[in-house]
Structures are given as structure tokens and as C-alpha cells.
Amino acid sequence: MAPLLLLLPLLLLISSIAPSAMAAPAHTSNWAVLVCTSRYWFNYRHMANTLSIYHTVKRLGIPDDHILLMLADDMACNARNSRPAQVFNNEDHKLNLYGENVEVDYRGYEVTVDNFLRVLTGRHDPAVPRSKRLLSDESSNVLLYMTGHGGDQFIKFQDAEEIQSHDLADAIQQMHQKGRYREILFMVDTCQASTLYSQVYSPGVLAASSSKKGENSYSHHLDMDVGVSVIDRFTYYTLQFLEGVRTDSAATLESLFRVYDPRLLMSNASFRDDLFRRKLDEVRVTEFFGSVMDVKHTPSGYSGFTGDPTRRSDRRRSEGEAKPRREEREATAAAAAAASELEVGAGDEGDWVLGVSCLLIGVTTVLWHKALRTD
Amino acid sequence: MGADGEKDRQAPPLKGRLLARLAVLIVRHAALVSFVCCVAGIVSLMLLPVLAKSVYVDENALLPGSARATFSHYDTLKAHDLAREIQTLLSSSTDPQKDFRKWLGDRLDALGADYYFHRFCPPTRSFSILGFLSTSHTYEAGKHCLVDGREQTPGVNAVGILRAHQGDGNEAIVLVTPFELENLTAENAIAMGLSLSLLDLLSRALWLAKDVVWVAADSKYEKYTAVAAWLKEYHEPLVSDSSFEGMHYTQDGNSSRDIFFKRAGSITAGFVLEFTRGAGATKVSSLEIHAEGSNGQMPNMDMISVVNLLVSWRQQFHLTLEGVPRIKDWQWLRSVGYVFEIVGKKAAELRKAFLSHAKASFTTAEDYVNGVSVLLRSCWNQMLGVPTGSHGAFRDFQLDAVTLEVVSTDLEHNMDFLTNFGRLIEGVLRSVNNLLEKFHQSLFLYIMVSPNKFVSISTYIIPFGLLLSNFPIQAAALCTSVKATPGSWTRAILVVILVETWSLGNAICPAILFHLFSSAPTRLAVWILLSGLCLAPVFCLRSDAHASDDWYVPLKSLTLGLTGIALGILSAVNFSVALAGALLLVPMCLSAQPFSSSWRALWKPKSGVISRVNAVLAPALTCFPLLVVLTILARESAGLWSFVELMWFWGSALYVSAFLVFLPCSILCLYIFFS
């Protein structure tokens, strides 16, 4: 009986380690910044692209308040729209992208380079509401999706202005310095898209694009009823892949990036992972497109609303010490296994707490066993 | 600042020396340079059809052909029914005018369109000296119109406005269907039926963002007049009391809903639909595009390329442009075409050998001849300056419009053709409907070579530039080569001023004569007599003894310089006129020399080949325009006056250039020749 009881935690520990060839996600929140930089009727597809990604990330679990949607939003009620108040990304018209609950944060003429950079860097006017801010921190994964008309080292914003790759690289570096992200997946669907992230130099940025320098990106198909192209190829095949992804899917970015066939795209999708710390086949798609993340149990209640400066600094320190504690946790891993039913979604600090409690339970068990024996 | 000044003072000699040296070099070898320029100019002119580029849609927003056309056989049947209804109505009615208006009003009302009737009178063709080139005709209609001194009923346009369901009413597309009630042909009736059927379809279209204005243009006094009258009223409302009286006109005389002239937004584009019976027994129906406005102004090229694109995608039409048919029989032109074909083939092979991606395309002799035919026709239309259809009225307001003319022999039984035409118009309208702003990207300065090929200004300016460059080069060469005798420049300037003044007088003369005399032959006779009498003293000026052989050189160089400048300016106004002028005047001006000196050159044993050739050519080239004018006077004297009147009425650049450029230049050359 007793050896069995002792073995149980060990067995549980082994069983919990074995399948995790893919490491548990290390971020604690997911954010998405989705930008459609075009306006006007003939750019219908860019709005459809962005709305499609919006619905996908929402389905995979990123809540609306973590999605910043920038949209010219002039399609649904455009006078030329033969299906008023509806937007489609396929000519079968099965899915109305504008149907329910679309929360556009920056609409119409608000989609400017200025606002976009402010969202990224967090340098807002004090009057800007929280819902229009990217409130990420250094353990957030951010999906940055852009679509529109671009060229070598730039992308146009609504035919009025443009942002250059240097500006973008600078904004991302600012984000890095301010601790506004842990990792960024930067996706661009535009002509010569890969040039847009060529200047980025901040760590933790993974970038994917629809085309290389000198290449055009093409639309996927035309809706003869609405009379415009409704979606771009790169986004179409991304969505096709994401359709098979659920919140618990183990699909990796590696497998996503493999679906971009140059023959179907009519351009060469390209990627940049030299700044990214992890291997692509270890990163689940849901870590960026969904909200599958690490949940941390804080030792104390959230102090943000009390405004007590000392407690806030405590919290910051405790996060800074996360790493040494992890080693400590490994030392007590054997005992920790006893409480492994709590492990799902357990984070760094939570693990430590669990470890200590497991140790206590283990010690108690041994003591209890000894006591029984002596009796 | 001071340092800069010094630098400037030091720099010019270096720069200037190079330019000056180049200029001296060119002037020294002026004969060779002009020869090369002339040959290159003629060759590049011949090459224009080969150098033509394929048409393309420049404006992104147009999205031609991206929507499915919904016009169906059902709509064609409806068009046929309507056409039949019109014909039975007209044949049975006692007052066709009134009944037709009533019928049309009811139809438009049923479609939910705003409609009204617009009355107009044709403008009186009066010469007014001040109004030239800024022709502002009045179309004000009272109870009656005065046409050629007789009282006539005014023309009545029927106008229906379809308001776009979701549109903001800021912009409109205009469809024009000319009709003539007095002799309504079957084709005309079908055109009306099809237009109404199209309107019916459009009234149900959800995609409409611009209002559609349909103008049934009463072409009693020419189609152009009807459309121009309506457009003028649309853009320049009449506010005087007397004219307001005229606008109180309704179909039944007392209904109040269609009193006012109604408007939609600013006009984006206009399409004139015309159906005509084709000549001959061939049953092939074709679609012809007419685009030239007054003084050769073309609409934005996207107007043509959208139609061309839709036609070539659906492959249902034989799209044509007006050409000069006789040219196709010219064997020499065909041979030139063969030469270009062979050269083009070789060039394509070479290109393929060196650049693997290059498209190996060349112009065949057949394409070449067709291209020349269309190009010449287009240039001729531009040169006359008279619009080729009622679309020209739009161009006067800087609006883009084309006429789509269906030429068919058997429209009543050709269901498919009509359906396809309806689908084409629907497609074009939907495309224009997608526009977000005025046409602004594409080309305005181009000449069509075939429905899918055009020559842009960047290409066609080259031959003209080469020909034009002869004038300054030769003028400079003449100035430097000969030491002018004292007083010869003064005399030259005096002669030029006299001739130019005389030409100006000649240009204004018809306007004055028009008011003095009533019959055309008298006017013409008085005109010729007057101008002849006035010119005589100028020719008498030559009686001074010519000190040396080269006395005429200052005069010739002045003529060359002035003509060069005038042609250069003219090319900006009307390119075809300028090109024709250059072709005519370059050989004439360059070879001009006194008869006596050419006679001497011919017989002098020492004179070179060039001067001998020149001596032979000079009389022929100089007298050629004179002979042409005399021939025209002898054969077509009656038509000449009306031609002059027509040119004046349309404010044609040909009129101005003929009197202010061609005439003084040829008179000066004649002056040199005869003295």
C-alpha cells in the first residue's frame, strides 16, 4: 500500500512530462491588432480579409476587448453594395462577416498612420478610452495583421499617407523597450509584403508575408454578384487552414506556413524567424490566433485598482523572480505530482505554490504512514 | 550671395560654349540635319500604327466586367414590345407629338423615374466676331423657333431621372437615345425600347450609386443640338422671366409635376446609344465607337477601353472604329505594311533570342493598313474640328462621353445581339458606377489605331517634333550664312507684317460679309475680290531693285521662324491640324526661293545636285497650295462658303490655322518665288 502511494506522484509526474514535447505556452495574454489600411469600394477584399481574421481570432478565444480592429468600414453600407449591410469573403455568400457583433475600434478616417503607431506604442492622449488601447504587457503575445496596398518598404493608409518599414521597426522596438509584448506574429497581406518587416530588429518578432520584394499579391476570387474581388489569396489560404483549428488543436505555425503554395498564391509567401526565440514547430497556432496561454496564480489579489504603490512593486518583483523559482520548483517536482490534477493551465507561480503544497502533502503522507506503522 | 554670383559668372562660359558649339555644328550642317529630320519624321509617321500600344483600363475603381450582367432575353423581349408599341402609337395617332410624350411620361412614371420635358430651339448660325472659339449658342425656346426665317415648333427632349436607391445623389450618368418622331425608323424604335427596358432593369438595381439620367433627344434639329441644349440648360440655368415662360410646358398642358427642369448630380459620363441600319446585305452586326469631340478633343481613354475590354472578354461583338475604306486598296501602303511586318518579325525573333521573357509580337500588313485607315480618319475628324456625334456636346462641358452605334441589318430578328448589347451597356454602366470621382487618371491625348490599340501623345509628338525642328534650324542657318544688305531686314519685317495683317483681315472678313450680303456666291466673290485687291500692293513692294541674289534670305528666315512658332502653338490646340500643317509647309518653306535664282541654278554648270533638285522642286512645292485653292474655287465654289460657315460655327482650329498660319506662310513663299 505505502510504496504504491509513494509511486503514484512519480507516475503522475512522468505522465505529465511525456506529452509536453511542445512546451506549455509561456505568455499570459493574447492581443490582436488587425488593420485594414484601404478604403473605397474596389478594395472590398481588404476589409473582408481583416474581418475574416477578426472572426477567426474571436472564435479561437481572443475576446473583443483584446482585439483592436482598424477598418475603413465603408463597404457594408456602400451605395454600390448590392447586398446592403453585408460583407462576404466568398461568393457563396454563406457567411456574412458583418452579421453579428463586430466591434470596430478605429473606424473610417480614424485609420491613420498616427493612430496605428499610437496603438502600438501606447502613447495615447489621456482621453482615449481603454477599449481603443493595446494594453498588453511583457508576457503578451500580439498578433499584428495588416492588409492593403503596399510597395517596397511601405504600406499605404487609405490613399492618403503611408507607413514605412523603418517606422514600423521603430514602433516595434519601442514596444519591446516598454515591455508591451513577449512575442509578436506580424502578418502582412499586400504587394511586396516581405519588405515591410525587413527593418524590424526587436527580439521575439516572427513575421509572415504574402509576397517577396518585387512580387504582387493577388486576390483570390471575384464575386460576380457583388461585383468585386472578395478576398486575397494569402488570407484565403490562411483562413482555410485556420478553419481546421480549434482552441485545443496542436497545429503549429510550421504547419500553417507550409500551406502557402506559390502556385496557388501566385506569389512566394515568405517568413522571417531570425528574431524569434523558439522553433516554429514548437509554437502552436493558437498561441497567436487564439487565447491558449499560461494562467498565473498570483499569491495576492490584484492590487492595480487599490493604487497602493508598494504592493504593485511587490508584484513586479515577484514576476522578475519567476525564473529562479522555476528551478526551485523542479527540485520539489516529485512531491508536486501529487496534486497534478490541478496542473492544467498552471503557471510559474502557481507551480511553486503547488510544489510546496505537494511537498507538504507528501511529507504528511510519509509521517502518517510512519505513525500508522509505529502504531 | 556674392560667392554665388561669382560662381555664376564663372560657370556660363563653360556651359555656353558647349551649347554654342553644338548649335554652330547643327547650323553648319543644317542641310544634312534637316534632311535627316525630314526623313526620320516621315518614317516615324509611317511607323505610328506599328508603335501603337494596347489599350488598358487605367482607373482601378472601374472594375470592368467584375459583375455579372443581368440583362436577359426577357428584357430584350420587353424592348421589342415597347418598340412595337411606339410604332403602333405613332401610326394610329392624330397628334403623334402629344401622344408620344404622354406615353413616354407614363412609362417613366411607372419606373419611378422623375421625368420632365425640355424644350429648345436650334441656335441661329450667326457669325459673331467676338464669340469665336468660345462659342456660346443659345437654345432658348419660346412658343416657336425661328429656323431659317420660318416659324417652327421647338424640339422637345424627354428626360427621365432614376434616383439611385442608396446613392447620395451627387453624381449622375447620362444615357442619350436620339429619336426623330417625324420619320421614326424601326431601328430608332428599338433603340427607344431597349433604353426603356434598360431603365426598367436599372430601376431595380441595388448597386446603383449614381443617378441615371436618360435623355430621349429629339433630333429634329440634329442630335447634337438636342443634347447640347439640354446640357447647357443643365449646367447654366436660365433665370430670365421670358425663358421661364417657355419652361411651363407639360405633356397635357396643365399638369404641374413636370414644370421644372430637374437635375441630378454632376455628370460623370455620358453614353449615346444609336442604332442604324447597315448598308448592304451582310448580316453581320457591329458596334462602332465614336469619340472625337469638337476640335478633336477625346474623352478619357478609359471610356473606350472599358467598352473594348467588355467586348473582348465576352467576344460577342465585332467592335469597329470608323476608318477611311478606300485606303485599304492602296497597294503601296500594303507593301509598306509588308516591309514593316518583315522587319517586325525579325525584331521579334531577335528580342526572343536575347530576352527570353519578351513577347514576340509584330504588326501584320493587314493590321497596318487597317491601322492607317483608322488613324487617318481620326486625324481627319480632329482636323475638321467638328464633333463626330452628339457626344461632342458633353466634351464642351469637359465631360467624358462616347457614342456607341450599333450597325445592323436585321435587328428585329437578332435577339442575341440585342441582349448582348444590353448586357454590354449594363456592364459599362456598372463599371462607371464604381467610379469614386471624376475620370482623372487615364489619357486624353491619344489617337486610336484600332479598337484595342492607341497612339499616345508621347509617341505621336515625335514625328511632329522632327518635322518642326526644321524651321528653327533652317532659319538660323539662313541668318548666319548670308550677310544681309542694309535695309533688307526692315523690308522683310514690313512685308511679313503686311501679309500677316492681310491674313487676319481675311479671317475676319467672312463675319462682316455675312451681315452685308445675303447670298453665298456674292459673299464669296466679294471676299476673294477684296482680299485680292488688298494683296496686290504687297506684291508691288518688290519693285525695288534687288541689290543682290540673297535679298530674300531675311524674309525667308522670318517666314520659317514665324511658321515654326505658330505650328508649335497650334499643336497644343489641335494636333492633327498642326501635323497636316507641318507636312504641307515644311517642304514649301524649305524649298522657297525666287524663280530667277532657281532658273539660274538649274543651268549653271557649277551648281550642285541639291540645288538643282531644289530648283526643280521649288516651283512645284510653292505653287501647290495655290493650285489646290484655285481648283477648289473652280469646282466647289458653292460648297466653300458653307464649309467656311461650318468651320466658324464649330470654332474649328482649322479655320484659325488656315488663315493665320497656312495662308500667310504660303503667300510669303509665293512672294519670294515671284519676285
Q: Which is nearest to A220 in space by CA: A58, A44, A54?
A: A44
Q: What is the pLDDT of residue A15?
A: 44
> Please, are residues B502 and B534 in contact by the beta-carbon 8 Å criterion?
yes
- Measured between beta carbons, which residues in chain A are less than 8 angstroms from residue B207? 80-82, 227
Show which of residues 27-66 on chain A sit within 8 Å of chain B, judged by CB atoms. 40-42
What are the cell numbers at A188? 502582412
> B23-27, B353-357, B463-467: lowest mean pLDDT where?
B353-357
- Minimal C-alpha gap between A231 and chain B (Å): 14
Please tell me which residue in A66, A191, A220, A358 is annotated as part of the active site.
A191
Q: What is the pLDDT of residue A204?
A: 94
Nearest CA in chain B to A229: B66
Cα A150 to the center of its chain, rounded Å: 23
- Minimal C-alpha gap between A39 and chain B (Å): 11
Q: Which is nearest to B429 in space by CA: B250, B199, B604?
A: B199
Give B268's contacts (C-beta < 8 A, 6+ positions apart): B171, B172, B173, B210, B399, B400, B432, B435, B438, B439
Residue type, B425: I
Q: Cell 502613447 identifies what position?
A: A123
Under an 8 A CB cutoff, do A81 and B166 touch?
A: yes
Mapped onto helix, strand or coil, the DSSP state of residue B286 is: strand
* Position A56 pLDDT exceeds 60: yes
> Please, are residues B77 and B127 in contact by the beta-carbon 8 Å criterion?
no
Mapped onto helix, strand or coil, the DSSP state of residue A116 is: helix
Q: Cell 453624381 identifies what position?
A: B171
Buried b (16+ CB within 10 A) or exposed e, A293-303: bbebeeeeeeb
Q: Domain for residue A294, yes or no?
A: no
* Position A1 pLDDT exceeds 70: no
* Position B423 pLDDT exceeds 60: yes
DSSP A284: B
Q: Which is nearest to A144 in space by CA: A205, A223, A75, A203?
A: A205
The string of pLDDT tens digits covering residues B212-249 is: 999 999 988 889 999 999 999 899 876 654 444 444 44
Cα B381 to the center of its chain, rounded Å: 5
Under an 8 A CB cutoff, do B167 and A84 touch?
A: no
The string of pLDDT tens digits covering residues A320-332 is: 444 444 444 444 4
Please tell me which residue in A46, A149, A176, A220 is annotated as part of the active site.
A149
Under an 8 A CB cutoff, do B206 and A83 touch?
A: yes
Under an 8 A CB cutoff, do A80 and B434 touch?
A: yes
Active site residue A149: yes
Q: Domain for residue A303, yes or no?
A: no
- How far apart, in Å, are the Cα atoms of B610 and each of A320, B52, B468, B592? 97, 35, 21, 14
- Minimal C-alpha gap between A30 and chain B (Å): 37
Active site residue A191: yes
**CA pair distance A326, A337, nearest whole angstrom:** 15
- Minimal C-alpha gap between A174 and chain B (Å): 37
**CA pair distance B294, A314, nearest whole angstrom:** 83
**CA pair distance B662, A8, nearest whole angstrom:** 112
Average pLDDT of the segment spanning B451-466:
93
Put simply, whether B207 touches A (Cβ < 8 Å) is yes
Buried b (16+ CB within 10 A) or exposed e, B371-383: bbbbbebbbebbb
Q: Cell 427632349 identifies what position?
A: B157
Q: Domain for residue A363, yes or no?
A: no
DSSP A137: -
Q: What is the pLDDT of residue B104?
A: 93
Average pLDDT of the segment spanning A340-358:
57
> Please, are residues B401 and B272 in contact by the beta-carbon 8 Å criterion?
yes
Residue type, B113: A
pLDDT band at B259 (very low <50, low <70, confident <90, very high): low
- Measured between beta carbons, which residues in chain A are less than 8 angstroms from residue B264? none
Under an 8 A CB cutoff, do A82 and B63 touch?
A: no
Which of A77, A84, A227 has the CB atom closest to B63's CB atom? Answer: A227
Q: Which residues form the domain of A167? A: 29-289
Q: Domain for residue A309, yes or no?
A: no
Q: Select the residue from A43, A80, A82, A158 to test the B interface by mutation, using most B Cβ atoms within 10 A.
A: A80
Q: What is the pLDDT of residue B103?
A: 93
pLDDT band at B508 (very low <50, low <70, confident <90, very high): confident
Put simply, whether A219 touches B (Cβ < 8 Å) is no
As a three-state string, the secondary structure of B366-385 is: HHHHHHHHHHHHHHHHHHHC
Put simply, whether A153 touches B (Cβ < 8 Å) is no
Q: Domain for residue A186, yes or no?
A: yes
Mapped onto helix, strand or coil, the DSSP state of residue B123 is: coil
The angle subtended at Cα B365 by Cα B362 and Cα B367, nearest 5°, is 75
Average pLDDT of the segment spanning A38-42:
92
DSSP string, B543-592: GS---SGGGGHHHHHHHHHHHHHHHHHHHHH-HHHHHHHHHHHHHHHHH-
Q: Domain for residue A369, yes or no?
A: no
Mapped onto helix, strand or coil, the DSSP state of residue B217 is: strand
**CA pair distance B343, B357, nearest whole angstrom:** 20
Q: Which is nearest to A185 in space by CA: A97, A51, A285?
A: A285
Q: Domain for residue A191, yes or no?
A: yes
Is ipTM over 0.90?
no
Q: What is the pLDDT of residue B151?
A: 84
Nearest CA in chain A to B64: A227
Mean pLDDT of chain A: 83
- How far apart, in Å, are the Cα atoms of B675 and each of B483, B552, B668? 20, 9, 11
Q: Pseudo-torsion of CA B16, B22, B24, B27, nearest 10°?
A: -140
- Measured between beta carbons, which residues in chain B are less than 8 angstroms from residue A77? 166
The string of pLDDT tens digits covering residues B591-625 is: 888 887 777 777 777 767 777 777 778 878 888 87
Residue type, A57: V
**CA pair distance B148, B113, nearest whole angstrom:** 37
Under an 8 A CB cutoff, do B434 and A83 touch?
A: no
**CA pair distance B77, B200, nearest whole angstrom:** 13
Q: Pseudo-torsion of CA A274, A279, A285, A288, nearest 10°?
A: -50
Tally of residues, chain B:
675
Q: What is the pLDDT of residue B239?
A: 63
Half-sphere exposure of residue B305: CA atoms within 13 angstroms, side-chain side: 23
**CA pair distance B201, B182, nearest whole angstrom:** 29
Put simply, whether A216 touches B (Cβ < 8 Å) is no
What are the cell numbers at B229? 441644349
DSSP A295: B
Put simply, whether B208 touches A (Cβ < 8 Å) is yes
Burial-class residue B90 by CB neighbours within 10 Å (0-12, 13-18, 19+): middle
Residue B354 φ then ψ, to 5°: -95, -35
Under an 8 A CB cutoff, do A227 and B167 touch?
A: no
* Number of domains chain A contains: 1
**CA pair distance B517, B515, nearest whole angstrom:** 6
Under an 8 A CB cutoff, do A80 and B433 touch?
A: yes
Under an 8 A CB cutoff, do A222 and B66 touch?
A: yes
- Minimal C-alpha gap between A146 and chain B (Å): 21
- Minimal C-alpha gap between A78 and chain B (Å): 8
What are the cell numbers at B77? 423581349
Strand partners, B471: none
* Position A11 pLDDT exceeds 50: no
Q: Domain for residue A259, yes or no?
A: yes
- Measured between beta carbons, which residues in chain B are less than 8 angstroms from residue A41? 61, 434, 436
Nearest CA in chain B to A85: B166
A vs B: CB pairs below 8 A: 49
- Measured between beta carbons, which residues in chain B are less than 8 angstroms from residue A81? 166, 206-207
Query: Are β-strands A67-71 and A106-107 bridged in parallel, bridged antiparallel, or unpaired?
Result: parallel
For the sheet with A154-157, list strands across it.
A150-151, A154-157, A161-164
Q: Cell 460648297 identifies what position?
A: B639
- How far apart, in Å, are the Cα atoms of A122 and each of A32, A127, A136? 14, 13, 9
- Measured between beta carbons, which residues in chain A are less than 8 angstroms from residue B265? none
Show which of residues 70-89 on chain A sit within 8 Å of chain B, judged by CB atoms. 77-84
> Please, are residues B159 and B115 in contact by the beta-carbon 8 Å criterion?
yes
The angle subtended at Cα B28 by Cα B22 and Cα B33, nearest 5°, is 80
Which of B166, B206, B436 has the CB atom closest to A41's CB atom? Answer: B436
**CA pair distance A375, B505, nearest whole angstrom:** 140
Report the share of chain B in percent with pLDDT over 70. 88
The string of pLDDT tens digits covering residues A154-177 is: 999 998 999 999 999 999 999 999
- Minimal C-alpha gap between B284 and chain A (Å): 30
Neighbours of A313 (CB within 10 A): 11
Q: What is the pLDDT of residue A347?
A: 46
Q: Which is nearest to B311 in space by CA: B191, B448, B428, B173?
A: B428
Residue B191 φ then ψ, to 5°: -60, -45
> Please, are residues A65 and A34 in contact by the beta-carbon 8 Å criterion?
no
The CATH number assigned to the domain holding A258 equals 3.40.50.1460
Q: What is the pLDDT of residue A323?
A: 47
End-to-end CA distance of chain A: 16
Q: What share of chain B is helix, strand, coil (3-state, %, to 5)?
A: 60, 10, 30
Q: Is the dihedral of CA A46, A51, A52, A53 positive or negative?
A: positive
Nearest CA in chain A to B61: A42
- Measured between beta carbons, which residues in chain A are less than 8 angstroms from residue B63? 42, 227-228
Q: What is the pLDDT of residue A330?
A: 47
